[in-house]
Amino acid sequence: MTQRPFDVEAIRRDFPILSRSVRGRALVYLDSAATSQKPRQVLDAVRRYDEEANANAHRGVHALAEEATRLYEDARERVARFVGARDAREVVFVRNATEGVNLVAHAWGDANVREGDEVLVTVMEHHSNLVPWHLLARRTGARIRAVPVRDDGRLDLDAFRAMLSPRVRLVAVTHVSNVLATINPVADLARAAHEAGARILVDGAQAVPHLPVDLGSAGADFYVFSGHKMLGPMGIGVVVVARERHDEMLPFLGGGEMIREVEVDSSSYADPPWRFEAGTPNVEGAVGLAAAVDYLSALGMEAVAAHTRRLGARAREVLREVPGVRLFGPDPGVDSSGSVVSFTLDGVHPHDVAQVLDRFGVAIRAGHHCAQPLMRRFEVPATARASFYLYNTDDEVDFLARCLVEATREFAPARAGWEGPADGPLARFAPPTHTPPALPDPVLRDSAGDGESDREVILDHYLHPSGQDPVDGAQVEWWGRNPLCGDEVVVRTRLDGERIAGLQVLGRGCSVSVASGSILASELKGRTVVEAVRLLRGLKAMLRGEPLPGDLDLGDLTALRGLKDLPVRVKCALLPWTTFEEGMERAGVIEDAHGAESREATHGHA
Ligand code: PMP
């Protein structure tokens, strides 16, 4: 393959989406760890396949079917070469990394894991390398144990070695952390696992896009990754199954393609990898993935890795300049890919960070990143995460830092959360200090209009929340939590007959959930329960984009109207209200008006 020089500007021209604008600004795409963008070469390969060769692979004797089969099997060969698999028959196409782990948990796990056995995971795993093992443990009675993560974001390798024992049947570990960018020494882990008689599955979802991966030397029994994080299409992923493991596995899904002979009451199976690919395969996905692999190979994975590492290092350098930033994970180097940087900004909730950045066209992630055990390990409900790839530039990294300064100026006066009950779920959070907001530089502000005035109402409630004073004699007290971001709220209500005589709303969360709680306290106090239910229904209708009942005035709640297009933030806005509602229902004050939204949050006694 002809090598191509690593020229970021030339690379960017291959990615049509990078020239679009977002909210009137140039798109700065820093979310490639969630999914990467696709170059023309991939888009063209998929389109060419659909226009010229689409047919069902493996099934027909006609020319198109043969061509589709050849393209599909050729993609398998190219992907195998790219990751250094010893044989293309080790490459099983699946939908994504998640399906790869589930395939192994069923096909290998069900046949090899018994009650009392152990599966060793790590605290830094993505949920997709945890939940399939939880399900296997439920099916088999096996036990899950987790290798701890050190303060610096590296795995505790001494603990790992100490936890290995003859009981461990499988080690399931990520190659590169999607939150910390830590590179785990998978070859060493594989050697140690094998010496202890265990097998090892490596989650390469964040490694294959960013590092030269050589499975020949990595020694993993199972290695999974997704096409959509490495310039390929969604819906195609890979699990590389070492040939020595083939005979230890049962089929995963049953159906066409994966069989040799079928009787009405029994069947025999095709050889791997086809044994594990039931049903019509995603041929266009495989073709697109092969084109992505060619694109990356032409640049050279060493060059791609060096570029990402450099951007990661620069990001950490400039973010350290921003007051109140806390960075997670090691600095880029031999044990960090630099492909992601996770951070928190003191006093600014990660959701608010992401939303301010979005206003400036910068796309990042905020939340638990499907790594809740790791969030707990670092005692944060969520982080913001910027991620980098071959098309990102130094200027984009610097712009990220500049926008964070703006986010701080907008929200930092609120520094930290609200005071919670002394022994309740909010106890560990510091009381707020409220100083007047410094609004951002006009250069970086949206044009005036509803959006601007709504934002000012939200910010005002966030910085000067109502409902902070204790209520004596509250009959109803309920706690709610949004598991997506860890926001929590306690609502205490004192009733005087039909009337809401006192409300206290204590919470810790983003500007939207805190402001919504403040509006709840100010709007509901003095109203009847029936009026409160009407307002709640009106809020839900507004957030679904439905018309309001004719005479209903939502007051300051109207400022939340722009959230209807942001489903994640809708949950933030509803949290205090559904917590109030569920508390009243449980207390028997109102009948079950309980909507789907509240079921998505976790509630309980405070
Ligand atoms: N593992 C890691 C480390 C990931 O980052 C991700 C995606 N965020 C996954 C697994 C799951 O990938 P997919 O959703 O494509 O199955």
Considering 226-235, 378-387, 392-401, 542-551, the range whose residues carry the highest mean pLDDT is: 226-235
Are residues 66 and 202 located together in one domain of the fold? yes
Residue 1 is assigned to a structural domain of this protein? no
Residue 37 is assigned to a structural domain of this protein? no
What separation in Å is there between the alpha carbon of 288 and the centre of ligand 1?
19
Catalytic amino acids? 370
Across the beta sheet with 499-508, the strand order is: 499-508, 487-496, 476-482, 602-604
Q: pLDDT value at position 592?
A: 52
Q: Is the CB of 560 under 6 A from ligand 1?
A: no
Which domain range does residue 515 map to? 457-604
Q: Can you spell out the DSSP letters for 122-145? A: ETT--GGGTHHHHHHHHHH--EEE
**CATH number of the domain that residue 553 is part of:** 3.90.1010.10
What separation in Å is there between the alpha carbon of 129 and the centre of ligand 1?
8
Are residues 61 and 201 located together in one domain of the fold? yes
pLDDT at residue 326 greater than cutoff 90: yes
Are residues 339 and 218 located together in one domain of the fold? no
Are residues 238 and 338 located together in one domain of the fold? no
In the chain, the number of structural domains is: 3
> Rounded to 10 degrees, what is the CA torsion of 555, 590, 509, 596?
-100
CB atoms within 10 A of CB 544: 11
Residue 35 is assigned to a structural domain of this protein? no
Question: CA neighbours within 13 Å on the CB side: how many for 605?
Answer: 3
What separation in Å is there between the alpha carbon of 132 and the centre of ligand 1?
13
Q: Is the CB of 122 under 6 A from ligand 1?
A: no
Are residues 552 and 575 located together in one domain of the fold? yes
The larger pLDDT score, comparing residue 446 to residue 433, is at 446
**CATH number of the domain that residue 333 is part of:** 3.90.1150.10
Are residues 338 and 191 located together in one domain of the fold? no
Q: pLDDT value at position 595?
A: 42
- Best probe residue, ligand 1, of 31, 93, 98 (max atoms within 8 Å of C-beta): 98
CB atoms within 10 A of CB 262: 13
Name the average pLDDT for the chain: 88
Atom 5 in ligand 1: residue holding the nearest Cα: 178
Are residues 560 and 519 located together in one domain of the fold? yes
Are residues 321 and 412 located together in one domain of the fold? yes
Considering 201-210, 463-472, 587-596, the range whose residues carry the highest mean pLDDT is: 201-210
Extract long-range pairs of 190-196: CB within 8 Å, 24+ residues apart.
Answer: 190/218, 190/219, 190/220, 190/221, 191/219, 192/160, 192/161, 192/164, 193/120, 193/164, 193/168, 194/219, 196/164, 196/165, 196/166, 196/168
Residue 452 is assigned to a structural domain of this protein? no
Q: Is the CB of 31 under 6 A from ligand 1?
A: no
Q: Is the CB of 98 under 6 A from ligand 1?
A: yes
Q: End of a domain among 276, 297, 318?
A: 297
Are residues 117 and 259 located together in one domain of the fold? yes
Residue 237 is assigned to a structural domain of this protein? yes
- Best probe residue, ligand 1, of 128, 225, 236 (max atoms within 8 Å of C-beta): 128
Q: pLDDT value at position 604?
A: 55
What average pLDDT does range 531-555 have in this prediction?
89
Q: End of a domain among 297, 330, 358?
A: 297
Residue 575 is assigned to a structural domain of this protein? yes
Whether 199 contacts 379, CB under 8 Å: no
Token pair in block for residue 127: 């949920």
What separation in Å is there between the alpha carbon of 31 and the centre of ligand 1?
13
Token pair in block for residue 592: 């079950």
- Least Cα distance to 222 among 182, 173, 269, 258 occurs for 173
Are residues 249 and 337 located together in one domain of the fold? no
Are residues 125 and 256 located together in one domain of the fold? yes
Q: Distance (Å, rounded) from C-alpha 534 to C-alpha 531?
A: 5
In the three-class reduction of DSSP (H, G, I as helix; E, B as strand; rest coil), residue 31 is classed as strand
Q: Is the CB of 126 under 6 A from ligand 1?
A: yes
Q: pLDDT value at position 463?
A: 85
Q: What is the pLDDT of residues 581-594, one digit of tens each?
A: 999 998 888 875 44
Measured distance between the N- and C-terminal CA atoms of the chain, rounded to whole angstroms: 63
Residue 229 is assigned to a structural domain of this protein? yes
* Atom of ligand 1 lying closest to residue 174 CA: 3
Are residues 388 and 468 located together in one domain of the fold? no
Q: What is the pLDDT of residues 114-150, one digit of tens each?
A: 999 999 999 999 999 999 999 999 999 999 999 999 9
pLDDT at residue 525 greater than cutoff 60: yes
- DSSP 8-state code for residue 590: S
- Percent of the residues in the chain that have a pLDDT greater than 90, as a whole number: 66
Residue 175 is assigned to a structural domain of this protein? yes
**CATH number of the domain that residue 187 is part of:** 3.40.640.10
What average pLDDT does range 33-51 have in this prediction?
98
Q: End of a domain among 228, 263, 297?
A: 297
Residue 397: partners with Cβ closer than 8 Å, 6 or more residues away: 311, 314, 315, 318, 388
Q: Distance (Å, rounded) from C-alpha 366 to C-alpha 349?
A: 9
**Residues present in the chain in total:** 606
Q: What is the pLDDT of residues 562-582, one digit of tens each?
A: 888 787 889 889 999 999 999
